[in-house]
Amino acid sequence: KAGVTQTPRYLIKTRGQQVTLSCSPISGHRSVSWYQQTPGQGLQFLFEYFSETQRNKGNFPGRFSGRQFSNSRSEMNVSTLELGDSALYLCASSRDGATYGYTFGSGTRLTVV
């Protein structure tokens, strides 16, 4: 079966711009979560959506937001980009949270210049 698909794979943006990243979960998975991965901080949880509702949120500023659609696809938006937002953004899906583990996509590599 198809895995978790993230688009685009690479993105270069200018400081101050905004960006939208997309994630298509595995069919039947209703939970979608987003993570930021940097060499310094490692993998950090941004937020989780389940059935179109944000269920959990990490410790990131309000510039980071997301949403989930009725088909479980999810988007993440970062407004007013800063140089420090350069990172690998990963999306993961699961049937319902941790019990079955998370299936990650290959990520979107965002570079802010």
CB of 70 to other proteins, least distance (A): 23
**Cβ neighbours for 84, distance < 8 A, ≥ 6 positions apart:** 112
Of the candidate spans 14-22, 65-73, 75-83, 100-108, the one that interacts with other proteins by CB under 8 A turns out to be 100-108
| 92 touches other proteins (CB under 8 A) | yes
- What's the rounded Cα separation, in Å, for the pair 36 and 103? 15
- What's the rounded Cα separation, in Å, for the pair 82 and 59? 17
- What's the rounded Cα separation, in Å, for the pair 106 and 6? 7
| 25 touches other proteins (CB under 8 A) | no
Residues facing 104 on adjacent strands: 92
Of the candidate spans 11-19, 61-69, 71-79, 95-103, the one that interacts with other proteins by CB under 8 A turns out to be 95-103
| 43 touches other proteins (CB under 8 A) | yes
What residue ranges bind other proteins (CB under 8 A)?
4, 33, 35, 42-45, 48, 56, 58-59, 90, 92, 97-107
